[in-house]
């Protein structure tokens, strides 16, 4: 166990977002455990997860505005770090881009989709797993991605999907979710607004109109992945 001063297990967040974003705020809100954030998109990696300086109990990988297959040195280094963490037995949760990076780092493949999956979508569980036990058989989630995992790593298991992409998977202590369980209403609106140069105005307007507190409350099942991940971290610490 790597406790903080209050004896709690701790989380390391790999913030892969570019520039000033709500990524760190959102994860801090959803996970009660103490957290340390590292802006990996700016080259700031945590200590080696197999070394003496490593002192966390779980890892979360955020979303990003890049593609995991972009030729960027920081993406390569982050993927190598994540692979080492998984091999070392650290619980790792990848969200959206993080889900894709996790799959690719462990031997899977990621490629571009025909179109964005943006806005609220229905996700279906296809295998039982503690990660999604609070989500129900079918649940609503907010999506924002134009890439998807096309091939999972060897021995990985699909936990949820829809007609657009693999939506969740597990490979031992590595867990990925394509949807965004951490988004609040403000973040969902901000993300859609930032697609103004990429998608038609009428489509974006329709998605914006769907983002209401009442509608967003229906994503509580997707949000429950954080409770499940926290339980996993506590069990492993």
Q: Is 180 a catalytic residue?
A: yes
DSSP string for 161-177: E-SSSEEEEEETTEEEE
Catalytic residue among 30, 143, 182, 230: 182
For the stretch 40-88, pLDDT in tens is 999 999 999 999 999 999 999 999 999 999 999 999 999 999 999 999 9
Catalytic residue among 38, 96, 216, 230: 96
Q: Which two tokens mark 19? A: 């520039």
How far apart, in whole angstroms, are the C-alpha atoms of residue 223 and residue 41? 25
Average pLDDT in the 137-165 region? Answer: 98
Please tell me the class of the 11-236 domain.
Answer: alpha beta
| Residue found by looking up tokens 């403000």 in the block | 186
The full set of domain ranges for the chain reads: 11-236
Catalytic residue among 38, 99, 145, 180: 180
pTM for the model: 0.96
């Amino acid at each position: 166990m790597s406790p903080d001063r209050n004896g709690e297990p701790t989380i390391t967040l790999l913030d892969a977002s570019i520039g000033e974003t709500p990524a760190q705020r959102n994860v801090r809100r959803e996970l009660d455990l103490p957290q340390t954030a590292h802006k990996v998109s700016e080259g700031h990696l945590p200590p080696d997860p197999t070394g003496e300086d490593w002192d966390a109990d779980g890892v979360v990988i955020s979303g990003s505005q890049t593609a995991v297959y972009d030729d960027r040195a920081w993406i390569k280094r982050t993927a190598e770090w994540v692979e080492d963490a998984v091999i070392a037995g650290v619980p790792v949760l990848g969200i959206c881009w993080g889900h894709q990076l996790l799959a690719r780092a462990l031997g899977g493949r990621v490629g571009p989709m025909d179109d964005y999956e943006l806005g609220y979508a229905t996700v279906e569980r296809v295998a039982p797993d503690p990660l999604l036990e609070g989500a129900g058989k079918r649940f609503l989630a907010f999506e924002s991605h134009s890439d998807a995992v096309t091939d999972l790593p060897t021995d990985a298991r699909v936990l949820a999907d829809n007609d657009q992409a693999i939506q969740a998977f597990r490979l031992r202590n590595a867990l990925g979710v394509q949807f965004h369980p951490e988004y609040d209403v403000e973040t969902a609106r901000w993300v859609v607004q930032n697609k103004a140069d990429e998608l038609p105005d009428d489509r974006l307007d329709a998605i914006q109109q769907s983002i209401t507190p009442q509608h967003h409350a229906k994503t509580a099942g997707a949000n429950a992945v954080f409770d499940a991940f926290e339980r996993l971290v506590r069990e492993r610490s």
